[in-house]
Structure 1
Amino acid sequence: MTALAPWASSPRASRGRLHAEPGAAERGPRDAFQRDRDRVIHSISFRRLRHKTQVFMAPDGDHFRVRLTHSIEVAQIGRTISRALGLNEDLTEALCLAHDIGHPPFGHAGEEALERALAGKGGFDHNGHTLRTLMMLERPYPRYAGLNLTWETLEGLAKHNGPIFAPNWALAEADAEARLELTSYASLEAQVAALADDIAYDNHDIDDGLRAGLLSIDQLCEVPLVARGWAIARRDFADLGDDRLHGEVIRSQIGAMVNDLIAETRQRIHASGVASVDDVRAAGRALVGFSADMAADERRLKAFMYANLYHHPRQLAAAAAADHVIDGLFAAYHADPSLLPEEWRIRLPDAEPYLSRHIADFIAGMTDRYAVSRYREVVGPIDLPEGF
């Protein structure tokens, strides 16, 4: 690792963990942020990401991305950016790997279904559920719940997208326990993780959309950022067929976005005068970001992807089926909690909203395929559209 910049997060200056860990040094020469990264990787919730939707629900193709592979790709981009900026790569990696752990089965369709199920009971938000999972639902240690991550990792997961002034109940509970200073900005490592996520899914979703036949390069060239990359690829590889150039366009686009972000962020850091991570939190604005031109290009790309991929008729049909599965599971477990597995029944709260939240916790932890199999077991047969 390169020497840390003054405004980077240092494990030696960490605010620590909620629970003391005597004898931790006996488990290897790792610093606090390296331990956090490793705890995420070894968690059950992280392993389950291999069967959770990224874009395509329970995909039947081995080459499509899922939450796990997406998180790994985000971490790779995040580490590259952090190294260039002199930030803490291990903290960045921990945040990138953990950022989607709170997603329920079926991606945003599953999240919307759980949000409805918990209407009037606090609702559901995947970001808040990430904190809830890592602080309470994961239970690898004998004396306390959660992974006992450092304050810096919890803070970064809570507010990597910026300050939070109206936290939902799950995030409010996390804040009450860890005092995450939700109304300030997070560390630069957390800000990098948020933009690495955008870069990864902006580009890799293009790759999956092309592979699935839901997008064409002609369509994509309506987006100026893609059109510029395609023109360069065609110029440099004029002897190759179009299908050989898709990956080149995506790689060059990722490189352009990463380079722009690094250059813009360096300028913002210099202009802000920050000299420490506490100065970063008090800066009053995000210091990691794209230039104005790249930000505009990225917004146009996102708008295109929503119109042509995320809201494609085939995707909407799959989302409707996912919605039906989550609705049916929640209704069945709420009507008869004895259908829950024993380890969840023995901790079943008696009163609302805690009963409904407990059921939502169980459902949110499911993989796509487990949710479908449990639906068939506790509700009944279901016909699923192409893609399941």
Structure 2
Amino acid sequence: MTRAPYAADPFRHGGREFAVSRDGAEPGERRGPRSEFQRDRDRIVHSMSFRRLKSKTQVFIAPDGDHYRTRLTHSLEVAQIGRVLARALGLDEDLTEALCLAHDLGHPPFGHAGEDALSEALSPYGGFCHNAHALRTVMRLESPYPAHDGLNLTWDLLEGLAKHNGPVAEATWALAELDAAFSLALDTWPSLEAQIAAVADDIAYDNHDIDDGLRAGFLELDQLLALDFLADQWRAVERRFPHAPRDRLMRELVRDQIGLMVNDVLAHTRAQTSGIGSVAEVRGAGRQLAGFSPAMATQERVLKDFMYRELYYHPEQTAAAERARAVVAQLFAAYADDARLMPPEWQARLPAAHPERARVIADFIAGMSDRFAMQCFAQIFGERPVGLINV
């Protein structure tokens, strides 16, 4: 594969927050012939925060069914799509994969319902944002190394996490603190690897959430076929496989739609990067270079609107989200009232005064899996939460 001139270079990365030796290894480390971006990826994969994603909500809260996606399987699927795009565009696959794997590390239990509860609880203290908390997680909370806090990832990885959706005009308290310690140039566009990670996330959840919604019975095929572009794809699938069972045809439909989106991103990004000769030019372009074409972006917005209306805001989903929000809110209130309910190691690090005290309580809750949050709730209140969806 030919490396594009605007690809991130692991030999010319932006450094790490904490000092490393000349050969790129941290003091005392000699752990294999990996590039710096490969080290980033491996540190993420080996982290406890990444492992906890296996029990965090993607679409359905604490699903019992083994076939439904969680934040972990979603992140793996995003990484697969991201690597395909990066390879075809001549970008650094390892940095792209690392960004894809890390992009959801800041999500609390119960997904956006849990985030809403923490945002409300922290409203007097600067609020809560899962994107900023992903940075806080990898830079301060996930700390396996003796010499420093955090995973000490490269600047390029951290910048991509901070800005994968574009420049940050107003940083939240968490991101502002981290940026002050290790500037991430929040006012510029990130690398193409970060931009590709963002669109890979869109492609994955736009289509895989359809698969989960159909499997759970929250979506029906006839609803999907009311969208003209999906109806066209369905008819093409039926023509190719006229005798195949419907469940296989639906999965083929999802695969076809992913392929269409991937090919659209490749064509549009190649056109947008014509004449771009370096990573610096990507950051200085003043606009997004990697993404959907205008026509596909319109279709994608229609699909998103449909998914919010028919799946994410389905009455059963909304009821479960409200209960999940209450669980997180009650946990926060309980820990704020009596810190002895927290594990000893968290009690030991709890500051005496707000806002820092409230923020550390939120750190503890945000790290919980769905199941651990329900377990903690049961231990404190003497009953398991009810009203959460189990599909």
Q: Quick one: distance in 2 between partners of 1:224 and 1:333?
A: 50
Letter of the 1:164 counterpart: V
Corresponding residue pairs, total: 385
Q: Which of 310, 314, 317 is equivalent to 2:316?
A: 314
Q: Note the alpha carbon deviations across 1:225-283, whole angstroms, 9 max, x for none.
A: 3212111111111112322201100000000000000000000001xx22100110000
Aligned to 2:270: 266
Q: Quick one: distance in 2 between partners of 1:182 and 1:7?
A: 19
Aligned to 2:35: 31
Aligned to 2:98: 94
Aligned to 1:191: 195
Q: Quick one: distance in 1 between partners of 2:76 and 2:109?
A: 18
In the alignment, structure 1 residue 237 sits paired with structure 2 residue 236:
no
Contact 2:41 2:98 survives alignment (8 Å): yes
What displacement does 1:84 show? 0.4
Letter of the 2:174 counterpart: A
What displacement does 1:39 show? 0.2
Q: What residue ranges of structure 2 are gaps of 5+ in the alignment?
A: none
Q: Quick one: distance in 1 between partners of 2:385 and 2:336?
A: 23
SS in 1 for 2:124: coil
Q: Which of 378, 381, 384 is equivalent to 2:380?
A: 378
Q: Which of 348, 351, 357 is equivalent to 1:349?
A: 351
Contact 1:202 1:301 survives alignment (8 Å): yes
What displacement does 1:382 show? 4.0
Q: Note the alpha carbon deviations across 1:20-44, whole angstroms, 9 max, x for none.
A: 2337272100010000000000000
Contact 2:40 2:154 survives alignment (8 Å): yes
Q: Quick one: distance in 2 between partners of 1:378 and 1:129?
A: 26
In the alignment, structure 1 residue 325 sits paired with structure 2 residue 324:
no
Q: Aligned runs of 1:156-305 on 2, under 5 Å?
A: 156-270=160-274, 273-305=275-307
Contact 2:54 2:71 survives alignment (8 Å): yes
Aligned to 1:137: 141
SS in 1 for 2:114: helix
Contact 2:374 2:385 survives alignment (8 Å): no
SS in 2 for 1:82: helix
Aligned to 1:337: 339
SS in 1 for 2:53: helix
Letter of the 2:38 counterpart: Q
Aligned to 2:18: 19
The farther-off stretch of 171-180 and 295-304 is 171-180
Q: Quick one: distance in 2 between partners of 1:176 and 1:274?
A: 30
Structure 1 outlier segments of 4+, above 6 Å: none
Q: Quick one: distance in 1 between partners of 2:279 and 2:200?
A: 20
Contact 1:77 1:196 survives alignment (8 Å): yes
Q: What residue ranges of structure 1 are gaps of 5+ in the alignment?
A: none
What displacement does 1:380 show? 3.1
Aligned to 1:4: 3
Contact 2:191 2:282 survives alignment (8 Å): yes
SS in 1 for 2:65: coil
SS in 2 for 1:293: helix
What displacement does 1:387 show? 2.1
Q: Which of 357, 361, 364 is equivalent to 1:362?
A: 364
Q: Quick one: distance in 1 between partners of 2:210 and 2:335?
A: 37
Q: Quick one: distance in 2 between partners of 1:386 and 1:355?
A: 29
